[in-house]
Structure 1
Amino acid sequence: MTANKFSTTKDILKFEGSDARGYWKRFSMLLALSVVIATMGLLRNSSAVVIAAMLVAPLMAPILGVAGALVLGRVQRAGYLLLVVTLSASACVVLAWFLVYMSDFPKGILIQEQVLARTDPGIEDLIIALAAGVAGAYVQIQKSEISLLPGAAIGVSLVPPLSASGILLYFGEYLYAYEAALLFVTNLGAIILSACGVYVASGALAAVLNKGKRRTGFSIGVTVTIVGVSLISYQLVRSTYERYLETRTEADLVEALQAWAYPTSLEIIRADVNVKNSTADLWLIVDLSLDTQDLIATVSDLLPQHLKDRQIRTVLKEILGPDYVVAVRYQTRIAGKLELATDKVTTAPSPDKPKD
C-alpha cells in the first residue's frame, strides 16, 4: 500500500491546488449551514435537527487529514490542518453566539435540555469518538463502504458542542461553555488517535518507515496525540467518577429519606448532590392530615409583607393586560439551609441561583 493512497492533498482534503478556492467556498458554506442548523436545533430542543447538523458538518475531513498526515510523518501538514480545524471551530462558536444574539429579540430564548446535554462530557463520550474515528477512517480508505459515512457522522458530535458553547457564552455560563468545548476537544483527539490506528493497520506506515525524517515526524506526532488524549481522558474519568458518586449518593439519599418518613407520605421532587462542593439540594413535600388546616395560618398570613404590598395580580396585569384570564396553581413550602457540621439553620438560597 502506497503513501499516495493516504495523501491528504488528493484524497482527504483539497485546500490546496487548482481548485483550492472552490473547496474553501464549499467547506465554509457547509460549515456555516451546519452551525445554523445545530444552533436552531439546540434552541428548539430538537434532537432530529441536531442530527441533521451532524450530517452536514464538513469537519470530519480535515480531522482525518490530520491523522493521515501524522501517519505519513508530515508534521507540518498535520499542523496546518489542525490550524484549519481550530480556526473553523472558533468560527463556529462565534457564529452560534451571533445567531443567539439575533434570535433573542425580544427576549425569549432559554437554555434548553439539548444544550445542557453537551455540558457533561464523560469517558463514554471518548469511547464513542474513538469508535466513530475508526469508522470514518475505514470509510475513507474503503470507498465501497461510503454508505457507512452518515452513521460515523452521527456517532461523533463535532458542530453541536461548538454551537452549545456559543449559546452558553451568550448567556454568561462560562463553565458550561468550557465543558461543551471540552466535548469537542475530546472528539477531536479521539478521532485523530483512532484514525491513526486504522491507517497504520492498513499499511500506510510501511511506506514511510524507511525515510528517517518522516519516521521521526510520525513518532513525535503520534506521541503528542497520545499524551493529549491521555490528559483529556484523565479529566473525563474524574468527571465520570464524580457523576457516578453523585448518582449513587442521590439514590441512597432518596431511599433513606423514604424510610425515615414511612408511613407518612413523602414526595421527593428533587435530590441533587454535588460531590465536588459537598452540597445537596432537596425538594420535599410531606402530606399532612386534613384537620391540620385548622391549626395553621392562612396563606396570606404566611406571605412576606412585600408580596402582600404588591400582589401577583398586579404583576400579571402589567405583562398580559387586563383581558387575560390566568390559571395559577401554587403551594407554599418551608425552605431552610442545614449546615450538618454545626446543626446551624439559615435561609435557603433561591432554587434559581446558579450552582458553583
Structure 2
Amino acid sequence: MASQFVAEQGRQKPAPTQKSVAKPAIKTGNERPVPRRLPLLALLRYYSPPHIHRPVIKAVRIVSRLWGINGAEWHWMADKPMPLKILNRSLWRGAEPSFNYYMMLFLSGVISALGLLAGSTAAIIGAMIVAPMMGPITAMAFAITMGNRRLLKRSGLAVVTGALLTVGTAYFICTLIGLSTLNAEILERTRPTLIDLAIGLAAGAAGSFAKTRRDIADALPGVAIAVALVPPLSVIGIGLAVKSPSVITGSTLLFLTNLAGIILTGGLVFIWQDYGSITRAKQGLLASTVILALLGIPLGLSMRDLIIEERSRSLVGDLIRRQTETFKDTNIRKLKVDTDGQTLRVNLEVAAPMGSISQNQIGLVHQFLEQELERPINLSVDIFPLETFWVDPTVDALEPRQ
C-alpha cells in the first residue's frame, strides 16, 4: 500500500507555476528619448552636395545629444503626431466632394463675391472662414506624400469642381447686380507678388502641421484666412463678368500660387512628421517645385514693379511737398504713381482755392520732376475747388471766404 501511494504521488501533475507578469516600468524623467529618424535630414542629404549636408547633419546630432541630457525639461519636444490611420481617415473625409462641401463652398462664394463688390473686408474674411477648400488641398499634399492615388483623385476632384462653382457663383452675382466698377479690394487680388508666394508656403506648412496635431486643430480657420483661397476665385468670376483679361489673369495667378505653395510645403511637413517617404513623394514634390518656379517669373516681375512704384511714390511725394512752391501749402488728397514701361505716370488730387494753381505752374513742376528723376513722366493733376465758410456774430448771413 505504501508503494502504491508513492507511485500515485509520483503520477500526480505538478502544480502550475504562476507566470511572471512584467510590471510596467516607472518613468523617472531621467530616461533618454528614443532616437528617431529625421526625414528632413534625409531629404537634405538626398538633394544637397556633401559639403552642405554633412555639417548640417553633424550640428543637428550635437544639438540632439545636448537636448537628451535633461529629458524631463524637454518633454514637450516628444509630442507625437496623429497616428497614420486616424490622419488618413480624417483627410479622406475632408476631401469628400459631398453635398455639404458644395453647399458651404457656394455660401462662401456668395459672401466673398458680395464682399468684394461692396468693398467689405469683414465680409471677405467671413468667406475665408466658411470656405472648406483647405481640407481637400491638404489632402492632395498628403496623397502625394503617401503615393495614394485614390485620395489624390478624390481631393483633386473636390478642388477643381469647387473652384468652378466659386467662379460661377461670382460671375452670376456680378452679372445679376450689374456692377462694373473695380474697387480696391478687387484690384488688390490682381497683382500677386513673391510676398503672396511666401504667404502660401507658410500657410501650407501651418495647415499640414495643424492636421497632424489634435491640440492645435483650432488654428485651421486662421490658416484659411491667411492663404485666402476663395476671394481670388471670386475675382476671376468678376473679371469674366466685366470682361477684364488683366483681372482674370492676375487672380488666376494668385490662386495657382497659393495652391502650389500649400501642396509643396504641406508635403514637406508630412514627410517631416514621418508620413510617407521621399521616394514616393519625389515626383509630386518635383512637379510642385517646377510649377512654383514657373509662377515665380511673373511674381518676381510684379514684385519688381511694386518696389519701383513704391520708391517712385516716396520720391515724387517728397519732391512735390518739399521742393516745389506750387503744392507746398496745398492739401494733397491722393498721390498715385505707376509705371508704363519707361514712362512714370503720376496722378495728383489736390484741394486748393480756385485760381491758385495755373497751367504754367504745372508745366514747371513737370519739368522739375523729369530733371530730378531722369525719366519721362506723365503728370496729371486734378484740382478740387476749396471754399471755406465762416460765421461772423455781427452778420446774419454766411459769407464765403475764398
TM-score under structure 2 length normalisation: 0.63
CA distance in 2, matches of 1:49, 1:345: 39
Q: Which amino acid aligns with 2:202?
A: A
Q: Which residue of 1 aligns with 2:143?
A: 69
Residue deviations 1:166-218, cap 9 Å, x none? 11221122112211121111111111111111101100125xx7xxxxx3x42
Which residue of 107, 126, 142 maps to 2:213? 142
CA separation of 1:255 and 1:141: change in aligned 2, threshold 3 A = same
Which residue of 315, 327, 338 maps to 1:273? 338
Contact 1:54 1:160 in 2 (8 A): yes
Summarize the alignment of residues 158-173 of structure 1 with structure 2, pairs less than 5 Å apart: 158-173=229-244
CA separation of 1:271 and 1:163: change in aligned 2, threshold 3 A = closer
Q: Which amino acid aligns with 2:320?
A: L
Q: Which residue of 2 aligns with 1:330?
A: none
Q: Which residue of 1 aligns with 2:90?
A: 11
Deviation at 1:229, TM superposition (A): 1.4
**3-state secondary structure, aligned to 2:101:** helix
Which residue of 118, 133, 136 maps to 1:59? 133
Summarize the alignment of residues 1-356 of structure 1 with structure 2, pairs less than 5 Å apart: 3-7=84-88, 10-14=89-93, 24-75=98-149, 77-104=151-178, 110-206=181-277, 215=279, 217-262=280-325, 265=329, 268=332, 269-276=334-341, 278-283=343-348
CA distance in 2, matches of 1:11, 1:180: 31
The structure, 1 or 2, with the larger RCO (C-alpha pairs under 8 Å, 6+ apart) is: 1
CA distance in 1, matches of 2:293, 2:190: 20
Contact 2:349 2:381 in 1 (8 A): no
Contact 1:64 1:191 in 2 (8 A): yes
For these two proteins, the number of residue pairs brought into alignment is: 292
CA separation of 1:288 and 1:226: change in aligned 2, threshold 3 A = same
Contact 2:227 2:258 in 1 (8 A): yes
Residue deviations 1:108-130, cap 9 Å, x none? 56322211121121122122222
Deviates more, 1:40-49 or 1:59-68: 40-49
Deviation at 1:151, TM superposition (A): 1.2
Q: Which amino acid aligns with 1:169?
A: L
CA separation of 1:344 and 1:183: change in aligned 2, threshold 3 A = closer
Residue deviations 1:110-156, cap 9 Å, x none? 32221112112112212222222122112211122222122111111
**3-state secondary structure, aligned to 2:192:** coil
**3-state secondary structure, aligned to 2:93:** coil
TM-score under structure 1 length normalisation: 0.71
Deviation at 1:3, TM superposition (A): 4.7
CA separation of 1:143 and 1:278: change in aligned 2, threshold 3 A = same
CA separation of 1:349 and 1:167: change in aligned 2, threshold 3 A = farther
CA distance in 2, matches of 1:279, 1:345: 5
Residue deviations 1:238-288, cap 9 Å, x none? 211210011102222232334552376466543422154634133365968
Contact 2:350 2:381 in 1 (8 A): no
CA separation of 1:280 and 1:15: change in aligned 2, threshold 3 A = closer
CA distance in 2, matches of 1:148, 1:189: 21
Deviation at 1:234, TM superposition (A): 2.9
**3-state secondary structure, aligned to 1:64:** helix
**3-state secondary structure, aligned to 2:206:** helix
Contact 1:39 1:163 in 2 (8 A): yes
Q: Which residue of 1 aligns with 2:400?
A: none
CA separation of 1:284 and 1:191: change in aligned 2, threshold 3 A = closer
CA distance in 1, matches of 2:353, 2:175: 48
**3-state secondary structure, aligned to 1:255:** helix
CA separation of 1:188 and 1:277: change in aligned 2, threshold 3 A = farther
**3-state secondary structure, aligned to 1:118:** coil
Q: Which amino acid aligns with 1:4?
A: K
**3-state secondary structure, aligned to 1:111:** coil
Contact 1:89 1:162 in 2 (8 A): yes
CA distance in 2, matches of 1:345, 1:68: 51
CA distance in 2, matches of 1:345, 1:197: 47
Runs of at least 5 residues in structure 1 that lack an aligned partner in the other structure: 210-214, 297-332, 351-356
**3-state secondary structure, aligned to 1:101:** helix
Runs of at least 5 residues in structure 2 that lack an aligned partner in the other structure: 1-80, 383-402
CA distance in 2, matches of 1:44, 1:284: 24
Superposition CA RMSD, Å = 3.7
CA separation of 1:109 and 1:344: change in aligned 2, threshold 3 A = closer
CA distance in 1, matches of 2:354, 2:143: 73
